[in-house]
Amino acid sequence: MNTAELLVRCLENEGVEYVFGLPGEENLHVLQALKQSSIQFITTRHEQGAAFMADVYGRLTGKAGVCLSTLGPGATNLMTGVADANLDRAPLVAITGQVGTDRMHIESHQYLDLVAMFAPVTKWNTQIVRPSNTAEIVRKAFKLAQSEKPGAVHIDLPENIAAMKVDSKPLRTDTRERVYASFQSIERAAAAISQAQNPLILVGNGAIRAHASEALTEFATTLNIPVANTFMGKGVIPYTHRLALWTVGLQQRDYISCGFDNTDLVIAVGYDLIEYSPKRWNPLGDIPIVHINMTPAEVDSSYIPMAEVVGDISDSLAEILRRSDRNGKPEPYAVHLRDEILSDYEEHANDAGFPIKPQKLIYDLRQVMGPEDIVISDVGAHKMWIARHYHCDCPNTCIISNGFAAMGIAIPGAIAAKLVAPDRKVVAVTGDGGFMMNNQELETALRAKTPFVTIIFNDGGYGLIEWKQINHFGESAFVHFTNPDFVRLAESMGVKGYRVESSTDFVPILKEALSQDVPAVIDCPVDYRENLRFSQKAGDLSCEI
């Protein structure tokens, strides 16, 4: 057995189902070992797509997604998706091929110090230089990738080491024990919650990773405390719940901003500062905070908790609930915001304008998708509207790249989502800019038999940047481009192509596209004049008690 074969046996031992990547000279031995493995290798068309697939696989399953590249340009292409996984707290293991150790001390074709390069975008990374250390390195990589806070790790395998003989075997995997918060911290949190007049829960992605949806919903319902979620916390509490105030995280003020303006206690559950900076909702650092999470709070002058409850989130919520008394307390101010939020959401339900307003598109998408179906959002102006208007009944049914916010994630991410959940509808929502970054992976989707629908919000430009430019300078620059015929492009790749030509077209086209047994692309012109209208509306927003 050589080192590459041992590496693959270790991946099998970790329960790896898929490896996403591209073949290359320096990973030949790994590919040959995978050929004899139970692991399915998904050949992608770009290493960035491979990393995004591993990224979304990790977010949806909690198990590390694995991506593979060769050295040099293959590894640099991989890096964006690795960084995205790391900042979005998705467990991922990246494996790169490398020149032989006998070539590293001289100028060598395609050689880069990949351990140094990946250091800023991973939790941990290393190079295998002794075949006998392979099992330890792989076990450590998966343990770190999947431990709180999850993230990306990187293993670099030189080609001469990959070919060396080794007599070893995978290490036994361990199970993570639940860790419970101290009673002192629970008592402090319960006292603060009992005394608050206008508490507000801010829930983040950590609550989804901890499978704390049921506990959070019971906690909020029993104590009558309204809940706002981050972009990555959608679905922790059903969006139809009377206490659900939907999503916070836009860089502009919105109705939920009034809730933060008037709260006297924020209960942050599974919240990560990278999801939405506390300087935006607590700029003076004067709002009292209760921190409930699996890890201690990060240090930030706008986020200094008065009580820090560190341990299993569901257990912490149950124990705090047992000790909290809110009998006789008035209904928190933020509960009354829901009527305004609902009214705003329903405003464009019957809008017949064309090009279609983004609010209308997303409203109609929500009506077609089931409660457990999955939407993967790319990055761009549409992401802001998805964040604000696409609401979820269940966790992990709307995946948004938010920590690193990398364009091009939607189509590769949808492939991973369909592999994880083949019986659910999957829709990738992207702008025309993001679509052109990784649309080549539609061929991968066709080959991998992962039918999903891609909706292109087509405005002929980088709409989010234009929105910001006009807000800042009153004019835009360098953001417009021309597009190919997306329908013909889709059809040339063997997938279905559709074009929306009126507001009444979208729903029937979407339903037909979702019924196909191959991937489908819907080209939909969008009216992004709504971006500036929203900015004006946000600027005029006032909060009255």
State yes or no: pLDDT of 259 exceeds 80: yes
Band (pLDDT 50/70/90 cuts) for residue 108 is confident
Same domain, 397 and 420: yes
* Residue 513 is assigned to a structural domain of this protein: yes
Distance CA 290, CA 308 (A): 6
Amino acid, res. 149: K
Same domain, 396 and 516: yes
Same domain, 383 and 299: no
* Residue 543 is assigned to a structural domain of this protein: no
pLDDT at 538: 63
Same domain, 273 and 377: no
* Residue 171 is assigned to a structural domain of this protein: no
Same domain, 324 and 351: no
Same domain, 239 and 378: no
Average pLDDT over residues 470-480: 91
**DSSP helix/strand/coil, 66:** strand
pLDDT at 174: 84
Average pLDDT over residues 418-434: 97
State yes or no: pLDDT of 256 exceeds 90: no
Percentage of residues in the chain having pLDDT higher than 90: 85
Same domain, 320 and 432: no
**Global confidence as pTM:** 0.95
State yes or no: pLDDT of 205 exceeds 60: yes
3-state SS record for 471-494 = HHHCCCCCCECCCCCHHHHHHHCC
Band (pLDDT 50/70/90 cuts) for residue 544 is low
**Element holding 346 (H helix, E strand):** helix 337-346
CATH code where residue 114 lies: 3.40.50.970
pLDDT of 480-511, one tens digit each? Answer: 999 999 999 999 999 999 999 999 999 999 99
Same domain, 57 and 32: yes
pLDDT at 531: 83
Give how many domains the chain has, as a whole number.
Answer: 3
**Element holding 436 (H helix, E strand):** helix 432-438
Average pLDDT over residues 78-90: 97
Average pLDDT over residues 17-31: 95
3-state SS record for 123-182 = CEEEECCCHHHHHHHHHHHHHHHHCCCCCEEEEEEEHHHHHCECCCCCCCCCCCCCCCCC
Band (pLDDT 50/70/90 cuts) for residue 97 is very high
Average pLDDT over residues 226-239: 96
CB 141 within 8 A of CB 66: no
**Element holding 389 (H helix, E strand):** helix 381-389
pLDDT at 530: 86
State yes or no: pLDDT of 90 exceeds 70: yes
pLDDT of 337-351, one tens digit each? Answer: 899 899 989 998 999
Same domain, 323 and 356: no
Average pLDDT over residues 321-327: 94
Average pLDDT, the chain: 94
Percentage of residues in the chain having pLDDT higher than 70: 98
Domain membership of residue 520 as a residue range: 347-536
Among candidates 13, 186, 158, which has minimal Cα distance to 95?
Answer: 158
pLDDT of 355-380, one tens digit each? Answer: 999 999 999 999 999 999 999 999 99
Average pLDDT over residues 129-154: 97
pLDDT at 545: 54
Band (pLDDT 50/70/90 cuts) for residue 541 is low
Band (pLDDT 50/70/90 cuts) for residue 240 is very high
Same domain, 139 and 198: no
Band (pLDDT 50/70/90 cuts) for residue 235 is very high
pLDDT at 464: 87
Band (pLDDT 50/70/90 cuts) for residue 539 is low
Same domain, 483 and 362: yes
pLDDT at 334: 86
CATH code where residue 245 lies: 3.40.50.1220
State yes or no: pLDDT of 68 exceeds 60: yes
